[in-house]
């Protein structure tokens, strides 16, 4: 399999970037997309060139580290698949592929296909916790949770924070990510104590990070590798508006 790759190359956050063409030959169709880039990088290193920088860790579609845009689609053309789980057999010999990093003001490019996604961490820190006693784990059956509720919470908790939703959204919004992180705690009995302050804190932190506004294009749901539903955005908006109408703010005084 022979491919023509046009890859975004950028030396650093404050340096200009450009698309660079690479002709890759004899690609193994059974290799993953990242393995194909590994082979290309090895060839670049052997020639004394700078290898292409891209995020990766587990390479099992779990950690959310990897991710970039392939021909205009976050994570590539295969639904519910991360880049690390995308295999070359889904492309044809002779294809031309354009690889770009996530494009968002809140995700500044670090180098090549790598972006800084620490804005997601700050959103989680703004409200992603519950008040529980420390010590041994509580008895699992102590707090009964209806099965439909548990299923919705679990589905929201599947979000791996890869950032594909932001990259694909025409507005660069992070509402699907934030909605999932709010919902998977707010849906459960254990998360009710901080329900209002969590919603307010995480939504307002999202806005401070410079993400765009949601216009319900649903592009985020279409490219999410875990199939997170935009229903979580509606739940987040409901909790946020309810909290603001009640006069709740994001300041939580611990121990008061």
pLDDT digits (tens, 9 = 90+) for 166-179: 999 999 999 999 99
Closest alpha carbon to 179 in 213, 154, 203, 197: 203
Residue ranges and CATH numbers for the domains of the chain are 3-111 (3.10.20.30), 117-245 (1.10.1060.10)
pLDDT at 255: 38
If phi > 0 it is left, if psi is from -120 to 50 it is alpha, else beta; for residue 111 that is beta
The pTM for the full model equals 0.91
Structure tokens at 70: 């392939």
> pLDDT tens, 149-166?
999 999 999 999 999 999
How many other CB atoms are there within 10 angstroms of residue 149's CB atom? Answer: 12
Could you tell me which residue, 222 or 256, shows the higher pLDDT? Answer: 222
For residue 140, pLDDT beyond 80: no
Closest alpha carbon to 86 in 129, 36, 128: 36
> pLDDT tens, 124-139?
999 866 776 777 777 7
Q: Longest Cα pair distance anywhere in the chain, in angstroms? A: 66
Structure tokens at 8: 């975004």
How many other CB atoms are there within 10 angstroms of residue 215's CB atom? Answer: 12
What value does the mean pLDDT of the chain take? Answer: 93
Query: Average pLDDT for residues 82-103, to the nearest whole number?
Result: 97
Strands (E), 49-140: 69-70, 73-74, 96-100, 109-111, 114-115
Structure tokens at 23: 């002709």
């Amino acid at each position: 399999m022979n491919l023509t790759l046009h890859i975004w190359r950028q030396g650093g956050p404050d340096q200009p970037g450009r698309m660079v063409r690479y002709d890759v030959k004899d690609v193994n169709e059974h290799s993953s997309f990242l393995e194909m880039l590994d082979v290309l990088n090895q060839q670049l290193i052997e020639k004394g060139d700078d290898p292409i920088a891209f995020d990766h860790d587990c390479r099992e579609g779990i950690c959310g580290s990897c991710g970039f845009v392939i021909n205009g689609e976050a994570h590539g053309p295969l639904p519910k698949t991360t880049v690390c789980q995308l295999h070359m057999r889904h492309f044809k010999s002779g294809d031309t592929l354009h690889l770009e990093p996530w494009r968002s003001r809140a995700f500044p490019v670090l180098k090549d296909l790598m972006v800084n996604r620490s804005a997601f961490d700050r959103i989680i820190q703004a409200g992603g916790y519950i008040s529980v006693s420390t010590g041994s784990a509580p008895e699992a059956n102590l707090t009964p949770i209806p099965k439909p509720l548990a299923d919705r919470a679990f589905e929201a908790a599947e979000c791996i924070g890869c950032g594909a939703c932001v990259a694909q959204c025409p507005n660069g919004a992070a509402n699907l990510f934030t909605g999932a992180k709010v919902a998977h705690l707010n849906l459960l009995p254990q998360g009710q104590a901080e329900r209002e302050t969590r919603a307010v804190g995480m939504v307002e932190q999202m806005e401070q990070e410079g993400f765009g506004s949601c216009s319900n294009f649903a592009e985020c749901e279409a490219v999410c590798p875990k199939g997170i539903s935009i229903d979580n955005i509606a739940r987040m908006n409901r909790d946020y508006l309810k909290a603001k109408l009640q006069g709740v703010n994001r300041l939580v005084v611990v121990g008061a």
